[in-house]
């Protein structure tokens, strides 16, 4: 319940939102390694950049000029967050 109590030390900001850090879970009694947890919580920057392009393509092909400027800004901001993200 640390996050709900405002303790941000167990979470990290990412391009897709706030994700828990590796030490943010009580894994006692579970058969999961640190490497497995790291993989579960990892973000593939290239995958995310490809996703942004797919999102752009979708709006271009199916919505076209009717796409609200606010949506286009959100896509640009998402792309910027991904490009600026440094994974741990």
CA–CA distance, 79 with 51 (Å, rounded to integer) = 9
77 phi/psi in degrees, rounded to 5: -65, -40
Global pTM value:
0.80
- Match 């947890």 to its residue by tokens: 37
CA–CA distance, 62 with 28 (Å, rounded to integer) = 48
Q: pLDDT tens digits, the chain, 88 residues: what are they?
A: 676 677 778 889 999 999 988 888 888 999 999 899 999 999 999 999 999 999 999 999 999 999 999 999 999 999 999 999 986 5
């Amino acid at each position: 319940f640390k996050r709900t109590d405002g303790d941000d030390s167990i979470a990290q900001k990412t391009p897709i939102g706030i994700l828990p850090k590796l030490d943010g879970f009580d894994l006692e009694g579970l058969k999961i390694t640190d490497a497995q947890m790291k993989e579960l919580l990892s973000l593939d920057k290239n995958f995310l950049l490809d996703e942004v392009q797919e999102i752009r393509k979708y709006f271009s092909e199916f919505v076209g000029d009717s796409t609200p400027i606010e949506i286009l800004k959100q896509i640009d901001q998402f792309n910027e967050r991904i490009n600026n993200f440094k994974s741990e």
